[in-house]
Amino acid sequence: MIKKIAVLTSGGDAPGMNAAIRAVVRSARSYGLEVIGIHEGYKGLVEGGENYEPMTRKSVTDIIARGGTILGSARLPEFPQPEVRERGIQQLKEHNIDALIVIGGDGTYAGAKRLHDHGIRVIGLPGTIDNDIAFTDYTIGFDTCLNTVVESIDKLRDTCGSHQRCAVVEVMGRYCGDIARSAGLATGAEFVVTNTDNNDLQTILEKTKTFKEQNKRHPFIIVTEHLFDVHDLARKIEDYSGYETRATVLGHVQRGGKPSSYDRILASRLGLAAVERLMEGESGVCLGVQSNQIVATPFEEVIGKSKNLFEEYDDYIKLLC
Residues designated catalytic: 130
111 binds ligand ADP, rule: CB under 6 A: yes
Q: 256 by DSSP, 3-state: which? A: coil
Q: CB under 6 A: which stretch of 98-106, 157-165, 231-239, 253-261 binds ligand ADP?
A: 98-106
Q: CB under 6 A: which stretch of 99-107, 146-154, 253-261, 271-279 binds ligand ADP?
A: 99-107
Sequence-distant (≥ 6) Cβ neighbours of residue 55 within 8 angstroms: 7, 25, 35, 36, 37
178 binds ligand ADP, rule: CB under 6 A: no
The residues pairing with 99 across neighbouring beta strands, listed in sequence order, are 5, 121
How long, in residues, is the chain? 321
- Count of residues in contact with ligand ADP, rule CB under 6 A: 18
75 binds ligand ADP, rule: CB under 6 A: yes
State in angstroms the smallest separation of the CB of 91 from ligand ADP: 14
**With respect to ligand ADP, which residue has the nearer C-beta, 175 or 240?**
175
12 binds ligand ADP, rule: CB under 6 A: yes
State in angstroms the smallest separation of the CB of 206 from ligand ADP: 35
Question: Judging by DSSP bridges, how do beta strands 34-38 and 52-55 pair with one another?
Answer: antiparallel
Binding string to ligand ADP for residues 16 to 55, with x set by CB under 6 A, is what? --------------------------x-------------
Sequential DSSP letters for 237-248: HHHHH---EEEE
Q: Which of 108, 88, 101, 95 is nearest to 21 (CA)?
A: 101
104 binds ligand ADP, rule: CB under 6 A: yes
CA distance 250 to 254: 7
68 binds ligand ADP, rule: CB under 6 A: no
88 binds ligand ADP, rule: CB under 6 A: no
Q: CB under 6 A: which stretch of 69-77, 240-248, 254-262, 268-276 binds ligand ADP?
A: 69-77
Inter-residue contact 170 to 225 (CB < 8 Å):
yes
Angstrom distances, CA of residue 262 to CA of 19, 65, 269: 11, 12, 11
State in angstroms the smallest separation of the CB of 8 from ligand ADP: 10
Torsion of CA 132, 136, 137, 143, to 10 degrees: -60
User: Contact with ligand ADP (CB under 6 A): which of 34, 40, 47, 106?
Assistant: 106
The DSSP letter of residue 176 is -
272 binds ligand ADP, rule: CB under 6 A: no
State in angstroms the smallest separation of the CB of 107 from ligand ADP: 2
Q: Which of 279, 274, 225 is nearest to 252 (CA)?
A: 225
Q: Which of 14, 74, 1, 17 is nearest to 271 (CA)?
A: 17
Element (H, E) at 108: helix 106-117
79 binds ligand ADP, rule: CB under 6 A: yes
Q: How many CB atoms lie within 10 A of CB 217?
A: 13
Angstrom distances, CA of residue 124 to CA of 45, 71, 153, 158, 196: 15, 16, 33, 41, 27
State in angstroms the smallest separation of the CB of 106 from ligand ADP: 4
State in angstroms the smallest separation of the CB of 172 from ligand ADP: 12
107 binds ligand ADP, rule: CB under 6 A: yes
Binding string to ligand ADP for residues 120 to 159, with x set by CB under 6 A, is what? --------x-------------------------------
**With respect to ligand ADP, which residue has the nearer C-beta, 10 or 224?**
10
Residues in contact with ligand ADP by CB under 6 A are 10-12, 42, 75-77, 79-80, 104-108, 110-111, 114, 128
